[in-house]
Amino acid sequence: LIDPLRSAAWSQWSDTGGNPMSLHRPKLHSNRTISRGPKAGRRILVAGGAGFLGSHLCHTLLNDEHVVICMDNFETGRMSNIALLLSDPNFILVRHDIIDPLPDIGPVDEIYNLACAASPPKYQIDPIHTLKTNIWGAINLLELAVSCGAKILQSSTSEVYGDPEISPQSEDYRGCVNTMGPRACYDEGKRAAETLFYDYCQTRGARIRVARIFNTYGPSMCPTDGRVISNFMVQALSGAPLTIYGHGNQTRSFCYVSDMIAGLMALMAAPDSAVGPYNLGNPEEFTIAALAHGILEILGLPPIIHYRDLPQDDPRQRCPDITKANRDLNWAPRISLAEGLSYTMPYFETELRQMKPALIAE
Ligand code: UDP
Protein backbone atom coordinates (compact mmCIF):
# COMPACT_ATOMS: atom_id res chain seq x y z
CA LEU A 1 0.00 0.00 0.00
CA ILE A 2 1.04 3.56 -0.64
CA ASP A 3 1.93 5.51 2.46
CA PRO A 4 0.40 8.94 1.76
CA LEU A 5 3.05 10.70 3.78
CA ARG A 6 5.73 9.37 1.46
CA SER A 7 3.86 9.13 -1.84
CA ALA A 8 4.79 11.33 -4.80
CA ALA A 9 1.46 13.08 -4.45
CA TRP A 10 2.13 14.01 -0.85
CA SER A 11 5.64 15.25 -1.56
CA GLN A 12 4.25 17.36 -4.40
CA TRP A 13 2.09 19.08 -1.80
CA SER A 14 5.04 19.48 0.55
CA ASP A 15 7.21 20.84 -2.29
CA THR A 16 4.90 23.81 -2.62
CA GLY A 17 5.90 24.81 0.88
CA GLY A 18 2.50 23.67 2.09
CA ASN A 19 0.77 26.36 0.04
CA PRO A 20 -2.01 24.65 -1.90
CA MET A 21 -2.71 27.88 -3.81
CA SER A 22 0.47 27.33 -5.81
CA LEU A 23 -1.02 24.19 -7.35
CA HIS A 24 -3.42 24.13 -10.29
CA ARG A 25 -6.95 24.41 -8.97
CA PRO A 26 -9.69 22.60 -10.89
CA LYS A 27 -12.75 24.67 -11.74
CA LEU A 28 -15.45 24.37 -9.11
CA HIS A 29 -18.62 26.21 -8.17
CA SER A 30 -17.12 29.53 -7.27
CA ASN A 31 -15.52 29.90 -10.70
CA ARG A 32 -18.71 29.74 -12.64
CA THR A 33 -20.11 32.62 -14.62
CA ILE A 34 -23.89 32.97 -14.70
CA SER A 35 -25.29 32.59 -18.23
CA ARG A 36 -27.18 35.58 -19.57
CA GLY A 37 -30.01 33.91 -21.50
CA PRO A 38 -31.36 30.68 -22.98
CA LYS A 39 -28.75 28.71 -24.90
CA ALA A 40 -28.90 26.19 -27.71
CA GLY A 41 -27.31 23.41 -25.62
CA ARG A 42 -28.89 20.09 -24.74
CA ARG A 43 -31.70 19.65 -22.17
CA ILE A 44 -30.25 17.53 -19.40
CA LEU A 45 -32.00 16.06 -16.37
CA VAL A 46 -29.84 15.59 -13.29
CA ALA A 47 -31.73 13.46 -10.75
CA GLY A 48 -30.18 14.15 -7.37
CA GLY A 49 -28.93 17.47 -8.69
CA ALA A 50 -28.75 19.17 -5.28
CA GLY A 51 -26.51 16.50 -3.80
CA PHE A 52 -22.73 16.47 -3.59
CA LEU A 53 -21.94 15.04 -7.03
CA GLY A 54 -25.19 16.21 -8.63
CA SER A 55 -24.62 19.86 -7.80
CA HIS A 56 -21.07 19.80 -9.19
CA LEU A 57 -22.46 18.25 -12.36
CA CYS A 58 -25.20 20.91 -12.65
CA HIS A 59 -22.60 23.67 -12.32
CA THR A 60 -20.37 22.12 -14.96
CA LEU A 61 -23.21 21.45 -17.43
CA LEU A 62 -24.48 25.01 -17.09
CA ASN A 63 -21.00 26.34 -17.70
CA ASP A 64 -21.01 24.23 -20.87
CA GLU A 65 -24.17 26.10 -21.97
CA HIS A 66 -26.74 23.35 -21.48
CA VAL A 67 -30.22 23.65 -20.02
CA VAL A 68 -30.20 21.74 -16.72
CA ILE A 69 -33.26 20.34 -14.97
CA CYS A 70 -32.27 19.53 -11.40
CA MET A 71 -34.63 17.07 -9.71
CA ASP A 72 -34.18 16.43 -6.00
CA ASN A 73 -36.29 15.46 -2.98
CA PHE A 74 -33.80 17.23 -0.65
CA GLU A 75 -33.49 14.15 1.56
CA THR A 76 -29.72 14.59 1.48
CA GLY A 77 -29.46 17.23 -1.26
CA ARG A 78 -28.91 20.76 0.02
CA MET A 79 -30.27 24.05 -1.27
CA SER A 80 -26.94 25.66 -0.42
CA ASN A 81 -25.26 23.45 -3.07
CA ILE A 82 -27.35 24.99 -5.84
CA ALA A 83 -27.98 28.47 -4.43
CA LEU A 84 -25.70 30.10 -7.03
CA LEU A 85 -27.69 28.50 -9.84
CA LEU A 86 -31.21 29.53 -8.94
CA SER A 87 -31.08 32.82 -10.85
CA ASP A 88 -29.73 31.20 -14.01
CA PRO A 89 -32.42 31.08 -16.75
CA ASN A 90 -30.99 27.76 -17.96
CA PHE A 91 -31.46 26.12 -14.56
CA ILE A 92 -34.80 24.53 -13.66
CA LEU A 93 -35.31 23.14 -10.17
CA VAL A 94 -37.96 20.44 -9.67
CA ARG A 95 -38.56 19.27 -6.10
CA HIS A 96 -39.59 15.66 -6.59
CA ASP A 97 -38.86 12.18 -5.25
CA ILE A 98 -38.05 9.88 -8.19
CA ILE A 99 -39.83 6.96 -6.52
CA ASP A 100 -43.09 8.70 -7.51
CA PRO A 101 -44.25 9.02 -11.14
CA LEU A 102 -42.27 11.82 -12.75
CA PRO A 103 -43.92 15.17 -13.46
CA ASP A 104 -44.03 16.32 -17.09
CA ILE A 105 -40.71 18.06 -17.68
CA GLY A 106 -40.79 17.86 -21.47
CA PRO A 107 -38.29 15.97 -23.61
CA VAL A 108 -34.68 15.67 -22.50
CA ASP A 109 -31.53 14.64 -24.37
CA GLU A 110 -29.62 13.18 -21.44
CA ILE A 111 -30.40 11.91 -17.95
CA TYR A 112 -27.89 11.47 -15.12
CA ASN A 113 -29.26 9.38 -12.25
CA LEU A 114 -27.42 10.50 -9.11
CA ALA A 115 -30.46 10.33 -6.86
CA CYS A 116 -29.72 8.27 -3.77
CA ALA A 117 -28.24 8.94 -0.36
CA ALA A 118 -24.70 7.54 -0.58
CA SER A 119 -23.37 7.83 2.96
CA PRO A 120 -23.85 4.61 4.99
CA PRO A 121 -25.43 6.31 8.05
CA LYS A 122 -27.80 8.27 5.77
CA TYR A 123 -28.93 5.48 3.45
CA GLN A 124 -29.49 3.20 6.47
CA ILE A 125 -31.97 5.61 8.14
CA ASP A 126 -34.80 4.38 5.88
CA PRO A 127 -33.50 1.28 4.08
CA ILE A 128 -36.80 0.57 2.34
CA HIS A 129 -36.83 4.06 0.86
CA THR A 130 -33.23 3.51 -0.26
CA LEU A 131 -34.30 0.37 -2.12
CA LYS A 132 -37.30 2.13 -3.66
CA THR A 133 -35.07 5.01 -4.79
CA ASN A 134 -32.77 2.60 -6.55
CA ILE A 135 -35.44 0.40 -8.10
CA TRP A 136 -38.62 2.42 -8.59
CA GLY A 137 -36.58 5.56 -9.24
CA ALA A 138 -34.53 3.79 -11.90
CA ILE A 139 -37.70 2.49 -13.58
CA ASN A 140 -39.27 5.97 -13.69
CA LEU A 141 -36.13 7.50 -15.19
CA LEU A 142 -35.63 4.65 -17.66
CA GLU A 143 -39.24 5.02 -18.87
CA LEU A 144 -38.61 8.71 -19.47
CA ALA A 145 -35.37 7.94 -21.32
CA VAL A 146 -37.06 5.40 -23.58
CA SER A 147 -40.02 7.71 -24.28
CA CYS A 148 -37.78 10.51 -25.57
CA GLY A 149 -34.77 8.57 -26.85
CA ALA A 150 -32.50 10.19 -24.25
CA LYS A 151 -29.17 8.79 -23.17
CA ILE A 152 -29.29 7.75 -19.50
CA LEU A 153 -26.36 7.30 -17.12
CA GLN A 154 -26.68 5.33 -13.90
CA SER A 155 -24.44 6.22 -10.99
CA SER A 156 -23.75 2.76 -9.70
CA THR A 157 -21.15 2.14 -7.03
CA SER A 158 -18.15 0.18 -5.88
CA GLU A 159 -20.59 -1.20 -3.28
CA VAL A 160 -21.77 -3.68 -5.92
CA TYR A 161 -18.50 -5.50 -5.09
CA GLY A 162 -19.51 -5.65 -1.40
CA ASP A 163 -16.58 -6.78 0.78
CA PRO A 164 -14.36 -7.84 -2.14
CA GLU A 165 -12.09 -10.88 -1.98
CA ILE A 166 -9.83 -9.51 -4.71
CA SER A 167 -8.06 -6.22 -5.17
CA PRO A 168 -8.06 -4.13 -7.26
CA GLN A 169 -11.62 -4.76 -8.38
CA SER A 170 -12.24 -4.92 -12.11
CA GLU A 171 -15.68 -4.77 -13.67
CA ASP A 172 -15.89 -8.51 -14.31
CA TYR A 173 -15.53 -9.31 -10.58
CA ARG A 174 -19.03 -10.21 -9.41
CA GLY A 175 -18.68 -9.17 -5.81
CA CYS A 176 -19.30 -10.51 -2.34
CA VAL A 177 -22.43 -8.89 -0.99
CA ASN A 178 -24.53 -9.71 2.08
CA THR A 179 -28.20 -9.61 1.10
CA MET A 180 -29.31 -9.25 4.72
CA GLY A 181 -27.18 -6.64 6.43
CA PRO A 182 -27.21 -2.90 7.13
CA ARG A 183 -25.52 -2.05 3.80
CA ALA A 184 -27.72 -4.40 1.74
CA CYS A 185 -30.39 -1.80 0.94
CA TYR A 186 -27.81 0.27 -0.90
CA ASP A 187 -25.64 -2.52 -2.32
CA GLU A 188 -28.49 -4.67 -3.55
CA GLY A 189 -30.51 -1.64 -4.65
CA LYS A 190 -27.62 -0.51 -6.83
CA ARG A 191 -27.10 -4.03 -8.15
CA ALA A 192 -30.80 -4.32 -9.04
CA ALA A 193 -30.63 -0.92 -10.75
CA GLU A 194 -27.73 -2.13 -12.92
CA THR A 195 -29.89 -5.10 -13.93
CA LEU A 196 -32.81 -2.81 -14.74
CA PHE A 197 -30.56 -0.66 -16.92
CA TYR A 198 -29.28 -3.75 -18.71
CA ASP A 199 -32.79 -5.13 -19.26
CA TYR A 200 -34.18 -1.80 -20.51
CA CYS A 201 -31.28 -1.70 -22.96
CA GLN A 202 -31.93 -5.25 -24.15
CA THR A 203 -35.71 -5.15 -24.35
CA ARG A 204 -36.60 -1.47 -24.89
CA GLY A 205 -33.53 -0.07 -26.63
CA ALA A 206 -32.60 2.31 -23.79
CA ARG A 207 -29.32 4.14 -24.47
CA ILE A 208 -27.66 3.30 -21.18
CA ARG A 209 -24.32 3.98 -19.52
CA VAL A 210 -23.38 2.54 -16.11
CA ALA A 211 -20.61 4.06 -13.98
CA ARG A 212 -19.41 2.35 -10.79
CA ILE A 213 -18.37 5.25 -8.61
CA PHE A 214 -15.69 4.70 -5.94
CA ASN A 215 -15.25 6.94 -2.88
CA THR A 216 -15.31 10.58 -3.96
CA TYR A 217 -14.75 13.75 -1.94
CA GLY A 218 -14.44 17.50 -2.27
CA PRO A 219 -16.21 20.77 -1.54
CA SER A 220 -20.03 20.55 -1.10
CA MET A 221 -19.86 17.30 0.87
CA CYS A 222 -22.29 17.57 3.74
CA PRO A 223 -20.15 18.07 6.89
CA THR A 224 -22.51 15.86 8.91
CA ASP A 225 -23.05 13.06 6.43
CA GLY A 226 -20.83 10.71 8.43
CA ARG A 227 -18.36 9.75 5.73
CA VAL A 228 -14.74 9.37 6.53
CA ILE A 229 -13.27 12.42 4.80
CA SER A 230 -15.99 14.78 6.03
CA ASN A 231 -15.79 13.34 9.55
CA PHE A 232 -12.00 13.56 9.74
CA MET A 233 -11.87 17.08 8.33
CA VAL A 234 -14.57 18.43 10.60
CA GLN A 235 -13.07 16.69 13.62
CA ALA A 236 -9.51 17.88 12.88
CA LEU A 237 -10.56 21.45 12.16
CA SER A 238 -12.61 21.66 15.34
CA GLY A 239 -9.89 20.16 17.55
CA ALA A 240 -11.80 16.93 18.24
CA PRO A 241 -10.16 13.48 18.17
CA LEU A 242 -10.43 11.66 14.85
CA THR A 243 -12.71 8.61 15.03
CA ILE A 244 -11.24 5.53 13.37
CA TYR A 245 -13.64 2.60 13.06
CA GLY A 246 -11.89 -0.70 13.74
CA HIS A 247 -8.08 -0.67 13.64
CA GLY A 248 -7.93 1.59 10.58
CA ASN A 249 -6.26 -1.01 8.37
CA GLN A 250 -9.24 -1.20 5.99
CA THR A 251 -8.46 0.58 2.71
CA ARG A 252 -10.23 3.02 0.42
CA SER A 253 -9.27 4.90 -2.74
CA PHE A 254 -10.37 8.53 -2.87
CA CYS A 255 -11.24 10.43 -6.04
CA TYR A 256 -11.43 14.22 -6.14
CA VAL A 257 -14.81 15.48 -7.30
CA SER A 258 -13.67 17.30 -10.47
CA ASP A 259 -12.05 14.09 -11.71
CA MET A 260 -15.26 12.18 -11.08
CA ILE A 261 -17.41 14.74 -12.92
CA ALA A 262 -15.02 14.56 -15.89
CA GLY A 263 -15.35 10.77 -15.89
CA LEU A 264 -19.15 10.84 -15.79
CA MET A 265 -19.31 13.35 -18.63
CA ALA A 266 -16.82 11.37 -20.71
CA LEU A 267 -19.00 8.31 -20.28
CA MET A 268 -22.13 10.20 -21.31
CA ALA A 269 -20.32 11.51 -24.40
CA ALA A 270 -19.07 8.06 -25.40
CA PRO A 271 -20.78 6.07 -28.19
CA ASP A 272 -23.93 4.13 -27.29
CA SER A 273 -21.90 0.92 -27.41
CA ALA A 274 -20.08 2.04 -24.21
CA VAL A 275 -22.78 0.78 -21.88
CA GLY A 276 -20.31 -0.27 -19.19
CA PRO A 277 -20.17 -0.93 -16.40
CA TYR A 278 -17.13 1.32 -15.95
CA ASN A 279 -15.22 1.74 -12.70
CA LEU A 280 -14.60 5.43 -12.00
CA GLY A 281 -12.31 6.24 -9.10
CA ASN A 282 -8.76 7.01 -8.12
CA PRO A 283 -6.66 3.83 -7.94
CA GLU A 284 -4.30 5.19 -5.25
CA GLU A 285 -5.15 3.09 -2.19
CA PHE A 286 -4.78 4.23 1.43
CA THR A 287 -5.52 2.71 4.80
CA ILE A 288 -8.00 4.70 6.87
CA ALA A 289 -5.27 5.11 9.51
CA ALA A 290 -2.94 6.62 6.88
CA LEU A 291 -5.70 8.99 5.81
CA ALA A 292 -6.21 10.12 9.41
CA HIS A 293 -2.50 10.75 9.93
CA GLY A 294 -2.22 12.53 6.56
CA ILE A 295 -5.02 14.97 7.47
CA LEU A 296 -3.51 15.61 10.89
CA GLU A 297 -0.12 16.21 9.28
CA ILE A 298 -1.54 18.75 6.80
CA LEU A 299 -2.96 20.68 9.74
CA GLY A 300 0.13 20.20 11.90
CA LEU A 301 -1.93 18.54 14.63
CA PRO A 302 -0.91 15.84 17.12
CA PRO A 303 -2.31 12.36 16.43
CA ILE A 304 -5.26 12.21 18.82
CA ILE A 305 -7.44 9.34 17.68
CA HIS A 306 -10.42 7.58 19.21
CA TYR A 307 -11.04 4.02 18.06
CA ARG A 308 -14.68 2.94 17.61
CA ASP A 309 -16.25 -0.41 16.69
CA LEU A 310 -16.05 -1.33 13.02
CA PRO A 311 -19.58 -1.22 11.53
CA GLN A 312 -21.02 -4.54 10.32
CA ASP A 313 -20.07 -5.53 6.75
CA ASP A 314 -17.59 -2.65 6.42
CA PRO A 315 -15.52 -3.58 3.32
CA ARG A 316 -11.89 -4.40 4.18
CA GLN A 317 -10.44 -3.13 0.92
CA ARG A 318 -11.53 -1.09 -2.04
CA CYS A 319 -9.47 -0.08 -5.03
CA PRO A 320 -10.67 0.38 -8.61
CA ASP A 321 -9.08 -1.15 -11.66
CA ILE A 322 -9.74 1.67 -14.14
CA THR A 323 -8.11 0.06 -17.19
CA LYS A 324 -11.44 -0.13 -19.02
CA ALA A 325 -12.42 3.54 -18.47
CA ASN A 326 -8.90 4.60 -19.39
CA ARG A 327 -9.02 2.62 -22.63
CA ASP A 328 -12.59 3.38 -23.77
CA LEU A 329 -13.13 6.89 -22.34
CA ASN A 330 -9.52 8.11 -22.34
CA TRP A 331 -10.13 9.05 -18.70
CA ALA A 332 -7.95 8.92 -15.62
CA PRO A 333 -8.01 10.99 -12.43
CA ARG A 334 -5.46 13.82 -12.24
CA ILE A 335 -5.77 15.10 -8.67
CA SER A 336 -3.76 13.35 -5.96
CA LEU A 337 -5.24 12.85 -2.50
CA ALA A 338 -2.90 15.39 -0.93
CA GLU A 339 -3.81 17.97 -3.55
CA GLY A 340 -7.55 17.27 -3.32
CA LEU A 341 -7.54 17.48 0.46
CA SER A 342 -5.85 20.87 0.25
CA TYR A 343 -8.64 22.09 -2.08
CA THR A 344 -11.29 20.67 0.24
CA MET A 345 -9.98 21.97 3.56
CA PRO A 346 -11.00 25.65 3.03
CA TYR A 347 -14.55 24.53 2.21
CA PHE A 348 -14.88 22.66 5.51
CA GLU A 349 -13.36 25.61 7.40
CA THR A 350 -16.11 27.84 6.01
CA GLU A 351 -18.83 25.27 6.71
CA LEU A 352 -17.59 24.81 10.26
CA ARG A 353 -17.80 28.50 10.99
CA GLN A 354 -21.51 28.28 10.12
CA MET A 355 -22.22 25.10 12.11
CA LYS A 356 -23.25 24.81 15.72
CA PRO A 357 -20.63 22.83 17.69
CA ALA A 358 -23.31 20.29 18.63
CA LEU A 359 -23.65 19.26 15.01
CA ILE A 360 -20.02 18.23 14.61
CA ALA A 361 -19.98 14.56 13.66
CA GLU A 362 -18.42 12.11 16.10
N1 UDP B 1 -14.67 5.47 8.87
C2 UDP B 1 -13.89 5.74 9.97
N3 UDP B 1 -14.21 6.85 10.72
C4 UDP B 1 -15.24 7.68 10.42
C5 UDP B 1 -16.02 7.39 9.29
C6 UDP B 1 -15.71 6.26 8.53
O7 UDP B 1 -12.93 5.03 10.29
O8 UDP B 1 -15.43 8.67 11.16
C9 UDP B 1 -14.31 4.31 8.03
C10 UDP B 1 -15.47 3.38 7.69
O11 UDP B 1 -15.64 2.40 8.69
C12 UDP B 1 -14.98 2.80 6.36
C13 UDP B 1 -14.19 3.93 5.73
O14 UDP B 1 -13.86 4.82 6.79
O15 UDP B 1 -14.11 1.71 6.59
C16 UDP B 1 -14.94 4.68 4.66
O17 UDP B 1 -16.19 5.01 5.18
P18 UDP B 1 -17.24 5.91 4.42
O19 UDP B 1 -18.45 5.99 5.28
O20 UDP B 1 -16.62 7.20 4.01
O21 UDP B 1 -17.60 5.16 3.07
P22 UDP B 1 -17.72 3.63 2.63
O23 UDP B 1 -16.54 3.43 1.73
O24 UDP B 1 -17.65 2.71 3.82
O25 UDP B 1 -19.03 3.54 1.93
Contacts of 91 (CB under 8 A, 6+ apart): 58, 62, 67, 68, 70, 82, 85
Q: Among 220-224, 343-347, 357-361, whose mean pLDDT is lowest? A: 357-361
> 362 pLDDT band (50/70/90 cuts)?
very low
Q: Give pLDDT tens digits for 266-311.
A: 999 999 999 999 999 999 999 999 999 999 999 999 989 999 999 9
> 40 pLDDT band (50/70/90 cuts)?
low
Question: Which residue of the set 186, 200, 217, 256 is catalytic?
Answer: 186
Name the average pLDDT for the chain. 90
Q: Give pLDDT tens digits for 190-204.
A: 999 999 999 999 999
Contacts of 117 (CB under 8 A, 6+ apart): 75, 76, 123, 125, 130, 133
Contact of 107 with 146, CB cutoff 8 Å: no
Q: Which ligand 1 atom sits closest to the C-alpha of 244?
A: 7
> 2 pLDDT band (50/70/90 cuts)?
very low
- Is the pLDDT at 188 greater than 50? The verdict is yes
Per-residue confidence (pLDDT) for residue 356, from 0 to 100: 59
Contact of 238 with 360, CB cutoff 8 Å: yes
> 4 pLDDT band (50/70/90 cuts)?
very low
Strand pairing category for 285-287 and 251-253: antiparallel
Residue of the nearest CA to atom 23 in ligand 1?
Answer: 215
Per-residue confidence (pLDDT) for residue 16, from 0 to 100: 35
What's the whole-number mean pLDDT along residues 9-15?
39
Residue 32 backbone dihedrals phi, psi, to 5 degrees? -80, 150
From 52, 161, 213, 228, give the residue whose CB has the most ligand 1 atoms within 8 Å, as the site to mutate: 228
Per-residue confidence (pLDDT) for residue 359, from 0 to 100: 52
* The 91-95 sheet, strands edge to edge: 91-95, 67-72, 43-47, 110-113, 151-157, 207-213, 278-280
Residue of the nearest CA to atom 19 in ligand 1?
Answer: 227
Contact of 48 with 54, CB cutoff 8 Å: yes
266 Cα–ligand 1 center, Å? 28
Residue of the nearest CA to atom 12 in ligand 1?
Answer: 314
What's the whole-number mean pLDDT along residues 144-148?
98
For the Cβ of 313 lying below 6 angstroms from any atom of ligand 1, the answer is no
For the Cβ of 241 lying below 6 angstroms from any atom of ligand 1, the answer is no
**Can you list the positions of beta strands (E) in 233-327?**
242-245, 251-253, 255-256, 278-280, 285-287, 305-308
The rounded distance, in Å, linking the Cα atoms of 284 and 268 is: 25
Helix, coil or strand: residue 359: helix
| pTM recorded for the entire structure | 0.90
Per-residue confidence (pLDDT) for residue 10, from 0 to 100: 41
Q: Among 10-14, 42-46, 277-281, whose mean pLDDT is lowest? A: 10-14
From 186, 252, 285, 308, give the residue whose CB has the most ligand 1 atoms within 8 Å, as the site to mutate: 252
> 12 pLDDT band (50/70/90 cuts)?
very low
Q: Which ligand 1 atom sits closest to the C-alpha of 310?
A: 11
Per-residue confidence (pLDDT) for residue 82, from 0 to 100: 98
Residue of the nearest CA to atom 14 in ligand 1?
Answer: 228
For the Cβ of 231 lying below 6 angstroms from any atom of ligand 1, the answer is yes
What's the whole-number mean pLDDT along residues 124-128?
97
For the Cβ of 281 lying below 6 angstroms from any atom of ligand 1, the answer is no
For the Cβ of 245 lying below 6 angstroms from any atom of ligand 1, the answer is yes
Residue of the nearest CA to atom 16 in ligand 1?
Answer: 228
> 67 pLDDT band (50/70/90 cuts)?
very high
Per-residue confidence (pLDDT) for residue 46, from 0 to 100: 98
For the Cβ of 216 lying below 6 angstroms from any atom of ligand 1, the answer is no
Q: What percent of the chain has pLDDT over 70?
A: 87
The rounded distance, in Å, linking the Cα atoms of 286 and 229 is: 12
Per-residue confidence (pLDDT) for residue 137, from 0 to 100: 98
> 22 pLDDT band (50/70/90 cuts)?
very low
Per-residue confidence (pLDDT) for residue 158, from 0 to 100: 98
For the Cβ of 127 lying below 6 angstroms from any atom of ligand 1, the answer is no
Per-residue confidence (pLDDT) for residue 304, from 0 to 100: 92
What's the whole-number mean pLDDT along residues 339-350?
96
For the Cβ of 311 lying below 6 angstroms from any atom of ligand 1, the answer is yes
From 224, 288, 348, give the residue whose CB has the most ligand 1 atoms within 8 Å, as the site to mutate: 288
Q: Give pLDDT tens digits for 303-333.
A: 899 999 999 999 999 999 999 999 999 999 9
Helix, coil or strand: residue 261: helix
For the Cβ of 173 lying below 6 angstroms from any atom of ligand 1, the answer is no
Residue of the nearest CA to atom 1 in ligand 1?
Answer: 228
Per-residue confidence (pLDDT) for residue 264, from 0 to 100: 98
- Is the pLDDT at 114 greater than 70? The verdict is yes
> 3 pLDDT band (50/70/90 cuts)?
very low
For the Cβ of 243 lying below 6 angstroms from any atom of ligand 1, the answer is yes
Residue of the nearest CA to atom 11 in ligand 1?
Answer: 245
Q: What percent of the chain has pLDDT over 90?
A: 85
To the query of whether residue 186 is one of the catalytic residues in this protein, the response is yes
